[in-house]
Chain A
Amino acid sequence: MTDHDVVLVGGGHNGLICATYLARAGRRVTVLEAGESPGGCAATREFAPGFSVSSCAQWLNQLNPEIIRELSLEKHGLQWAARNLASVSLDAGGRHLVLQGEQLEGERLTARDRESYPSFRRRMLRYAKLLATACGTRPPKLVESNLADRLNLVKLGLGLKMLGREDMGELMRIILINMYDLMEEHFDSEQLKALLSLHGVLGSHMGPRSPNTVFGYLYHCMGEHHGYLGPAQVQGGMGALGNALAASARDAGVEIRLGTRVAGIDTRAGRVVGVTLSGGEQLRAPLVVSSADPVTTFEGLVGYRNLETGTVRRVSQIRYKSGCAKLHLALSGAPQFTGLDPSRLGQRLVIAPEMDYIERAFNAVKYQECSAEPAMDISIPSVNDPTMAPPGQHVLSAIVQFAPYAPAGGWEQHRASFTSSLLDCLEHYAPGISAQVVGAELLTPADLEARHGMKGGHWHHGELSLDQVMMMRPFPGATQYGTPVAGLYLCGAGSHPGGGVMGQAGHNAAREIIRREAAA
């Protein structure tokens, strides 16, 4: 006898979103989350006494507002500490560049930069809108597409066509190229070029000269299409979003079991029958939905030997190498960035002075080495949300690119030296910051993998590049959220359309599961 219609593996944001929609459609859903708090990468953790931080994702800039509304997340406790933050590209000499929506400020900008940027941005937003349309629907299959899939393709094609001859031609020209070349075509300011390039490589294993980075940039721009003119900061850290999602799920009738690790997804004769927990307990259910990444799901949970070879081959070819680390600092006071107005301290601060700087940082990770001078995307959440640190003190959280997954000799040999090189790097922009550090934590890609169950520590559960999107995500044969294992579905970022904290995969998966199981 089973007392669940659906067992959902992983209580990350996509898992909770999928569970909520399924429960609202009348399914009895049990979510099994290994961690002690819901939300997955939407997490807040105290890393030093009195200092809390969004321990994985730090900004919210892509969560679909429609999902926020439909799940009544604000009613369930989601509050904003800040919205539409500006991005400040730091300059060691204090001549910073500030970008907010269409607004550009900075004394090193040229007339051409100021003139080009608004039209460049508007064009990119037109492309991002088209991309958002594609992200909102299930991707068509490579072959044997049915009518609905064909219509979706037609819609996409039409959308492309409706861009008009010039925009469409330009999109086709740039979609496969790299940010470096695109930036060189449009702008003079190294600061501006580097800042926009960083958007194209965030979370990925790519440098500005890597193909696919223009796609990465457009992907980033989707946030703006959803109304985020800049990143938003959640009150209480991203864990508060996890809690709001959990509250919304429970409100819909979802049972959430925290601290419950799934050891395996059980199959019999090519069909899913339930899951086995790490303690040995078995839960039987006709449907299992995994929000874990596809490699973890198939290699780790289902097991390669329980799959046909073709599937194993596809899964083992997924590219999921990450190059991102997180740095968390507990600071005794507000850091002083050279030339930065203290009122800007709560904005998004970026260290990426030149495109070549990012590229050099990327070079290292190709050889499993740490960047000597990494790019950083910095948040000081305690400025907008004093609950994150003791009074008068601050928390600094930085996405660090690039750090290897497995440096030679193992991370323990490199952890201290890399942390200290990161402090040196910060010191360059905020002299005296090292002396303010009262606690520090470095989360390497390996740490992120261990904590959040993301293979390779990759945010997107697999590289977001054109070979791994749409009908290729996670791999042909497991698109449209179904898998070669009957009754097993995917709802995480490893599925179309991927994402950081976006929630679209969970939303789309629920819709597809309801549709398919109703037809079955």
Chain B
Amino acid sequence: MNSTSDDTMLLTTPFHSRVSRACELNAWGSWKGYTTPKAYTDVELEYFAIRSTTGVFDLTPMNKYRITGPDAGPFLNRLVTRNVDKLGIGRVGYTVWCDDAGQVMDDGTIFHLGENDYRLCAYARATDWLFWSALGFDVNIEDETAAVAALAVQGPTSCAALTAMGLEGLADLKPFGLAEYDFEGETLMVSRTGFTGDLGYELWITPRLAETLWDRLFEAGAPYLIKPFGSDALEIARIEAGFLQAGVDFVPAEEAVRNGRTRSPFELGLDWLVDLDKPLFNGRQALLREREQGSRYRFVLLDVDGNKPAHNSFIMKGRRKVGTVTSAAWCPTAKSNVAFAQVELPHGAVGEELVAEIYYQRELHWTRVLAPCRVIEAPVFNPPRRRATPALPF
């Protein structure tokens, strides 16, 4: 019933009846084969729900793989760059994984659900790579993308709204922690995770109860000004928070066709995710070599003068092109014009002054501005409420 629709080739999520009712703009996009809203009512209002009250995002299309079996831990440790041994039960970890050339294939999160029981959330379809990686390991891999419905509930009042829905004690859940609640006789899993850089949670439940969950959430959240948001609002929030988007800020290694278009974790500023002390993981040999010989690119956050987002801009040093912008947005809360860029080393040290060559069009008239910009050290949005435990009351 929920898996197909008559008027589109795209799949629909178990929340579709509720999502489509709320999607006043009828602005649909495709997310890995699922029809998902780009915006429900107004992108700015949706964005401000995330930052000021509570926003809800249907993230069911996120690829979800359940990994179980005696070798689940060793399997994941060989797969990803982080040390999975350090991820306790009931914890979630952000990580990337690489091919043998040390190029990032994808980023995602690992949920340590129980002993020998993990969920891997990924941007790209990973079945093929996971199965190749499973050779020699006693693991079971199940694609549970369609078997688990998921909602992101993000924003300062999210904890209050969810508590009002009946999730007692949620305020004590630490960032990247997991909790389970009974919901209509089924397990509702809640993780304190998200893609907005704000206080927020993700809810995971059987598709059968998806609509009930949505209804109960919006009912309980009404006093907290809960509002659904689409991918356009999420895009602003994640750029403000400094989060990379696979397929936008890097080309997943298995999808790249041209030589040299992929990036290593070091080139994406993700050094902190790479544990070279692990004796073996995919890409380790290549990353050791890169450490020795140097990287080609540096990922930088740029604070761009003016208020024109530096979409697709060249980054110049004097008259020389030294990089390109992968993501850009005017960030309303931080009141900054932020851009993510790949610049050629040795450029991109914090504080370096560069120039973004921005093209924009007004009424068929193209204009070019050369906007000075500088490399900043940290994302522009990183409020204490994101981490505070217990969650701050709003």
Contact = CB atoms under 8 A, between A and B. Distances in A.
Interface string A298-312: 010001111011111
A271 to B, nearest CB: 9
B78 interface: yes
Given A477-B100, A484-B100, A308 B282 contact: yes
B94 to A, nearest CB: 20
Interface string B131-168: 01101110000000000000000000000000000000
Given A269-B280, A270-B284, A270-B285, A308 B135 contact: no
Nearest to B253: A310
B281 to A, nearest CB: 8
A316 B281 CA distance: 18
A370 B74 CA distance: 42
B280 A270 contact: yes
Interface centre among A268, A299, A313, A484 (most CB of B within 10 A): A313
A485 to B, nearest CB: 9
A305 B100 contact: no
Given A310-B99, A477-B100, A484-B100, A305 B285 contact: no
Contacts of B137: 304-305
Interface in A229-281: 268-270
B37 interface: no
B279 A270 contact: yes
B129 interface: yes
B122 to A, nearest CB: 15
Interface in A286-327: 299, 303-306, 308-313, 316
A61 B129 CA distance: 43
Interface string B87-103: 00000000000011100
A308 to B, nearest CB: 5
Q: How large is the interface on B (under 10, 10 to 19, 20 to 34, 35 or more residues)?
A: 20 to 34
Contacts of B99: 309-310
B100 A309 contact: yes
A310 B100 contact: yes
Interface centre among B99, B100, B279 (most CB of A within 10 A): B100
Contacts of B71: 305
Given A268-B279, A269-B279, A308 B132 contact: no
A466 to B, nearest CB: 23
A301 to B, nearest CB: 12
A299 B280 CA distance: 16
A308 B280 contact: yes
B136 A299 contact: yes
B19 interface: no
A305 B284 contact: no
Contacts of B74: 305
Contacts of B281: 308
Given A477-B100, A484-B100, A308 B283 contact: yes
A306 B280 contact: yes
Contacts of A269: 279-280
Nearest to A310: B100
B285 A312 contact: no
Contacts of A477: 100
B84 to A, nearest CB: 14
A299 B136 CA distance: 8
B79 interface: yes
A289 B63 CA distance: 42
Interface centre among A305, A309, A312, A486 (most CB of B within 10 A): A309
A309 B129 contact: yes
Given A310-B100, A311-B100, A477-B100, A305 B279 contact: no
Contacts of B78: 305, 308-309
B133 A312 contact: yes
B204 to A, nearest CB: 27
Contacts of B79: 309
A305 B282 contact: no
Given A305-B136, A308-B281, A309-B133, 10 more contacts: A270-B284, A270-B285, A303-B136, A305-B71, A306-B280, A308-B100, A308-B283, A316-B135, A477-B100, A486-B285
Interface of A: 268-270, 299, 303-306, 308-313, 316, 477, 484, 486
13 contacts: A269-B280, A270-B280, A304-B135, A305-B137, A308-B283, A308-B284, A308-B285, A309-B78, A309-B99, A309-B132, A309-B133, A312-B136, A316-B135
**A-B complex: 8 closest residue pairs judged by Cβ atoms:** A304-B136, A310-B100, A305-B136, A269-B279, A309-B133, A313-B132, A308-B100, A308-B282
